[in-house]
Amino acid sequence: MTHTIGRFAPSPTGPLHAGSLVAALASWLDARAHGGQWLIRIEDVDTPRCVAGMDQLILQQLSVCGLQPDAPVVWQSQRTALYQEALDALIDSSQAYACACSRKDIEAAQAQERPRHTELIYPGTCRAGLHGKAGRAWRLRTDKFITNSPLRPNDIARAASFSIADDSVHWVDRRLGPQQQNVAQEVGDFVLKRADGFFAYQLAVVVDDAAQGVTDVVRGEDLADNTARQIWLQQCLGLPSPRTLHTPLVLGANGEKLSKQNGAAPLDSQNPFGALNQAAAVLGLLPQTASVPEALQAWTLQWRALMS
Ligand SMILES: [Zn+2]
């Protein structure tokens, strides 16, 4: 059996709330239940959206809840050299290309066929070159699958069960079951480095999960939609794909997902036990009445029985 490495990767755009604690607790329990390691990575690669001091507040909130990382915390903003290296490799192998399109250009190119209220799908305009225009962003080709870097035997052993067939990525989520997405049709060639010079979330996550040896990604269901793009990118870079488990979302009184954007209340640091019990209930674990450490231990055993 391979050694489990899990991680919690918050964006420092606001404090931890009831929804993000569910993902933090689940990833911690999963690593503990498998006798593995749990890491914290601060996803501050989208620097303009980050709020100063939030990283420290989140670390404090986790610590009050008894969730301590097993290795030093890493910050994505300090790792851009690694992301550039990965992008350069993709450019060298013609899997990434420069794109000169603005959002308006992309909208205009698909004004006819796009149903209302759907995501913009990049039509591949710049695949064949920039035709004298200035490159703004870098995109990954999704029209044909190329891998120049076959997986090493060690990586195959710990890779998730997935395949790329019929132009779609197929994988099995540990909670959601069999999933599939046609990346070319449903997303299009996606951005790796943005026009404002910041690296895209997808590239940073894939590079970091591989660099940190993450075997199991446990995160909120709102992020499940990124999985196919990340598997595609991992394959292009010859990196292993971790297994995934997407946790249930916590809904607010209005029936919408709790999020920093819709003003979810920060976790009450005075009552971490209450917050942990709420998060555990969302995960289908039994309420605990003793102390935080004893509760965490009881839930680890329950998780092992439920999710092994
Ligand atoms: Zn373009």
Residue 68's nearest CA partner among 24, 30, 35 is 24
Measure 100 CA to ligand 1 centroid, in angstroms.
Answer: 5
Measure 187 CA to ligand 1 centroid, in angstroms.
Answer: 14
pLDDT at 157 over 50: no
Q: Which tokens hold the place of 148?
A: 């120049």
Query: What global pTM score does this model have?
Result: 0.90
Enumerate the β-bridge partners of residue 199. 193
State pLDDT tens for residues 109-128. Answer: 765 555 555 567 888 899 98
Measure 156 CA to ligand 1 centroid, in angstroms.
Answer: 34
Q: Do domains 5-79+204-307 and 94-200 have the same CATH topology?
A: no
CATH fold for the domain made of 94-200: Glutamyl-tRNA Synthetase; domain 3 (3.90.800)
Measure 79 CA to ligand 1 centroid, in angstroms.
Answer: 27
Q: Is residue 171 within 8 Å of residue 226, measured between CB atoms? A: no
Amino acid (one-letter) located at 254: N
How far apart CA 134 and CA 205 sit, in angstroms, is 27
State pLDDT tens for residues 206-264. Answer: 999 999 999 999 999 999 999 999 999 999 999 999 999 999 998 877 777 777 666 67
Measure 136 CA to ligand 1 centroid, in angstroms.
Answer: 8
Task: For residue 39, count CB atoms less than 10 angstroms from its CB and return exposed for 0-12, middle for 13-18, buried for 19 or more.
Answer: buried
**What are the residue ranges spanned by the domains of the chain?**
5-79+204-307, 94-200
Lowest-confidence pick of 54-63, 155-164, 182-191: 155-164
| Per-residue CA distances from 250 to 59, 106, 280 (Å) | 21, 34, 11
The CATH number, out of the four listed (3.30.56.10, 3.40.50.620, 3.20.10.10, 3.40.309.10), of the domain defined by the range 5-79+204-307: 3.40.50.620
Mean of the pLDDT values across residues 58-62? Answer: 97
